[in-house]
Every structure is written in C-alpha cells, then in structure tokens.
C-alpha cells in the first residue's frame, strides 16, 4: 500500500477461508477473521525492528468492522483503521440491498428481474431468521453460526468503547458497504470523539478504486484500477501521527 516506503512495516496474510480447506458451515466470524488477526499481531511484534508499542490494525470490509473486536482482544494496539467497514446494518438488509443494486445494473426483463429479486429476498430471509441447515453454507460465506455471530456483534458500538485512535474510510461509490446506509452510522456513533477521523472518498468503490457511475463487481478485476493514492496517504499519515 505504499507504507513500507515510509518506514512502516506491514504484515499481510491470506484469510483462512482463502488459504485453507475450511468447513464454512461450522465457522464464526472469530474463526475466519478475529482469531487469526490476534495471532498475526503477536507474530508481528516478535519481529526484529518492529516497534511493539506502535502496532495498528488496518481492516477492510468484514475485517474493518471486526477491527474493534480485534483491538479488544489484543489490548495493545496503538490504533485501528477501518476501511469500508461492514456489515454495519443487519446482514440480511445489507445482502438484499447489494443484490438489488446488482440486479438494477443488469439488462433483465421484468419477469427475470422479479425472479432475481424473489431469490434475493428468500436468501435474505434465511439469513435474518437463521433458518439454515446444519451443513448449509449461504452465499459462500458461512452457515448458521457465522450469521448468528455477525448478528450478535455491533461494530460501531464496539469502536465507540475504544480509547485508541480510530480511522474510518468509505468510498462514495461503494454498493457493498454504502455511504448512505452504513457510513452515517459510523459518523453518528463516533463523530463526537476527538481521536476519530472519518473520511468519505469521492469516486471510490468498495476496493477503493476510482471510477464513475454505478459500481459493479466486474470493475474489481480491472488491472488498471488500483488502490487509490489518497487512501494510502491518509493511512500512512494516520499511523505516523499516532505512533
């Protein structure tokens, strides 16, 4: 992300569900995100040349909304940076809004559109009610335990309880974690705290790539669409200021 060129050591690792053969029907958010992040922090602090008292977590999307939980578990972080953190609203509501957005971008007939929306509502209701079979995986993410652990966690409230510096960054073209539905919750919860910075970036999507018009998942794979330099600068400046 450009941090290394400014003397900031960076540790990144593949998410467990990407790197390992995991039974997703039997995981929680701790299994797929929190536990490994806490372990990574311990490993990072053990490396020569790393300032153990100036370690930050930068989390994106699910990793962003769980960054406060990671901070609570670790207890030694100098700060957390939450990029497009979500889901912030109920996960069923978020999933349905995402599907509606993508359906609107497709050239579908009225009957195809209604069928797609009905399917999206069915999946959202399954998540909301937790009516998920023991070995079932929904949306490729997880099963009943996964969605229950998401429902039981409030990221903004967890962030509000932290005393360390916090950064929340959001793209205004993000359809997965939205500037209208999610970012205002972070702003309302955290804006009265002095060591919080909230930034809304014009033109950026969920992966902080610049673009125009409604965002779709297809643009994520555009080789020319890179992580925006504005966000890189803000991340590194925030870390330097609070180290």
Catalytic residue (one of 36, 97, 174, 210) = 174
DSSP result, 160-204: HT--S-EEEEEETT-SSS-TTTTHHHHHHHHTTSTTEEEEEETTB
Residue 206 is among the residues annotated as catalytic for this protein: yes
Given a contact cutoff of 8 angstroms between Cβ atoms, the answer to whether 130 and 144 are in contact is yes
Catalytic residue (one of 74, 182, 206, 210) = 206
Catalytic residue (one of 31, 36, 60, 61) = 61
Residue 174 is among the residues annotated as catalytic for this protein: yes
Q: Which residues are 167's β-sheet partners?
A: 81, 197
Given a contact cutoff of 8 angstroms between Cβ atoms, the answer to whether 198 and 185 are in contact is no
- What token pair was written down for 241? 């200021």
Q: Which residues are 57's β-sheet partners?
A: 80
- What token pair was written down for 126? 């399954």
Active site residues: 61, 174, 206
């Amino acid at each position: 992300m450009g941090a290394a060129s400014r003397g900031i050591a960076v540790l990144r690792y593949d998410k467990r569900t990407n790197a390992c053969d995991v039974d997703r029907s039997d995981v929680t958010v701790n299994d797929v995100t929190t536990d490994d992040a806490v372990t990574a922090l311990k490993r990072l602090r053990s490396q020569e040349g790393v300032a153990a008292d100036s370690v930050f977590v930068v989390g994106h999307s699910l990793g962003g909304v769980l960054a406060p939980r990671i901070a609570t578990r670790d207890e030694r972080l100098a700060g957390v940076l939450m990029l497009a953190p979500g889901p912030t609203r109920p996960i069923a509501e978020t999933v349905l809004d995402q599907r509606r957005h993508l359906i609107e971008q497709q050239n579908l007939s009225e009957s195809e559109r209604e069928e797609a929306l009905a399917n999206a509502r069915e999946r959202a209701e399954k998540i909301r009610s937790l009516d998920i079979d023991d070995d079932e995986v929904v949306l490729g993410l997880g099963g009943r335990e996964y969605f229950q652990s998401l429902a039981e966690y409030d990221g903004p409230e967890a962030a509000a309880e932290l005393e360390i510096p916090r950064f929340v960054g959001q793209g205004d073209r993000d359809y997965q974690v939205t500037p209208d539905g999610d970012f205002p919750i972070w702003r309302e919860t955290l804006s009265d705290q002095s060591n919080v910075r909230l930034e809304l970036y014009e033109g950026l999507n969920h992966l902080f790539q610049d673009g125009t018009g409604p965002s779709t998942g297809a643009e994520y794979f555009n080789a020319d669409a890179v992580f925006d330099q504005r966000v890189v600068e803000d991340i590194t400046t925030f870390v330097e200021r609070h180290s």
